[in-house]
């Protein structure tokens, strides 16, 4: 149990949380539906990196269908969808976080192996092998999130993964998984990025166009990771340090910071399409082709409309 007598709430940051959730829902739905459409109907060449990005988009889709229910929860300050759907909602939110982290890391590792160990056998994975990696990754992600579906919340009025209202701490297992799934991949991403940039500079290749794109890729992954997930790690550490103290003001600040930072983790679904463009030339080409096709269709319809209008006037 939390050893303090503080009355905690998220009222001070509720407008910020709601604003973020609405923004993330709009941008995430628009960006990921378009991305999934391109992956499904426009992409002709599939490489290991593209397969990882497609699965990243699938993980983001799970988040997109959950966010409207989170908005309703924060607006009404009450969960009205009963226990089973609360567990499903929290499960999908955690599945997205773990899946996003895993597939962002897979993209970075793929580029790391191709740049640092270009002639090793494991650096040249086939699409078939990449699919096996994806299956293993999903099994790993499921293994660390499936427990949420078994945690019954009878009579639940608050549907949260982490309890920050002073009633009880999360389980040791939950805390461990949270830090391991975020911290360990973060260090991997930073390590791979530093190694890639150093290797390219040692070879005096950092100014070549294709090499710059490779650097932009790994840097974009680290930026998305740092913006979306690092704040929740730091604020959770602060909350765990302060939760047994009697410093109510400090504890309230830590609770508010963690609530906001947890909402910021959902921003990854809106930022991931940027990674797709930096990462995959095939996705970028398909994206441009799709936009040009939409633009041409719009111009054609506009032209036909104006011709019809002229005919009717005459």
Q: What does the pLDDT look like over 53-93, one tens digit per residue? A: 899 999 998 898 999 999 998 888 888 888 888 999 999 99
Q: What does the pLDDT look like over 276-300, one tens digit per residue? A: 776 666 777 776 777 677 677 767 6
Q: Which fold has domain 16-295?
A: Rhopdopsin 7-helix transmembrane proteins (1.20.1070)
The pLDDT value given to residue 2: 46
215: left (phi over 0), alpha (psi -120 to 50) or beta: alpha
Structural domain boundaries in the chain? 16-295
In a 3-state reduction of DSSP, which class is residue 30? helix
Q: Which residues contact 151 (CB under 8 A, 6 or more apart)?
A: 87
Q: Which residues contact 204 (CB under 8 A, 6 or more apart)?
A: none
* Alpha-carbon span 69 to 75, nearest angstrom: 10
Q: Which residues contact 165 (CB under 8 A, 6 or more apart)?
A: 8, 9, 158
Task: Find the range with the poorest average confidence among 55-59, 112-116, 222-226, 279-283.
Answer: 279-283
Say which DSSP state 38 is in: I
Highest mean pLDDT among 38-47, 97-106, 296-305: 97-106
How many residues are present in the chain? 314
Residue 1 has pLDDT above 50, yes or no: no
* Alpha-carbon span 43 to 210, nearest angstrom: 21
**Is the CB of residue 137 less than 8 Å from the CB of residue 144?**
no
**Is the CB of residue 233 less than 8 Å from the CB of residue 190?**
no
Distances (CA, A) of 210 to 8, 126, 191, 258, 278: 52, 21, 21, 39, 11
Q: How far is CA 257 from the centre of its chain?
A: 19
Using pLDDT thresholds of 50, 70 and 90, give the confidence band for residue 167. Answer: very low
């Amino acid at each position: 149990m939390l050893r303090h007598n503080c009355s905690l709430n998220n009222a001070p940051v509720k407008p910020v949380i709601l604003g973020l959730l609405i923004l993330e829902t709009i941008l995430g739905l628009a960006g990921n539906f378009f991305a999934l459409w391109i992956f499904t109907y426009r992409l002709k060449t599939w490489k290991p990196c593209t397969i990882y990005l497609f699965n990243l988009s699938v993980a983001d889709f799970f988040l997109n269908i959950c966010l409207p229910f989170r908005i309703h929860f924060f607006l009404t300050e009450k969960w009205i969808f009963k226990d089973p759907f609360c567990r499903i909602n929290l499960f999908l939110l955690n599945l997205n976080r773990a899946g996003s982290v895993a597939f962002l890391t897979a993209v970075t590792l793929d580029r790391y192996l191709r740049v640092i160990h270009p002639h090793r056998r494991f650096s040249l994975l086939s699409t078939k092998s990449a699919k096996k990696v994806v299956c293993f990754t999903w099994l790993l992600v499921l293994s660390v999130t499936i427990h949420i579906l078994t945690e019954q919340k009878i009579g639940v009025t608050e549907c949260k993964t982490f309890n920050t209202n002073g009633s009880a701490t999360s389980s040791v297992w939950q805390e461990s998984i949270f830090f391991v799934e975020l911290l360990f991949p973060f260090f991997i991403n930073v390590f791979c990025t530093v190694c890639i940039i150093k290797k390219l500079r040692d070879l005096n290749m950092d100014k070549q166009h294709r090499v710059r794109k490779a650097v932009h890729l790994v840097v974009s992954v680290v930026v998305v990771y740092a913006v979306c997930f690092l704040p929740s790690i730091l604020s959770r550490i602060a909350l765990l340090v302060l939760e047994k103290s009697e410093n109510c003001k400090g504890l309230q600040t830590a609770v508010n910071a963690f609530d906001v930072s947890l909402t910021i983790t959902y921003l990854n679904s809106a930022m991931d399409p940027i990674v797709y463009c930096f990462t995959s030339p095939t996705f970028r080409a398909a994206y441009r082709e799709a936009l040009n096709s939409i633009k041409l269709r719009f111009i054609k319809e506009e032209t036909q409309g104006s011709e019809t209008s002229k005919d009717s006037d005459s």
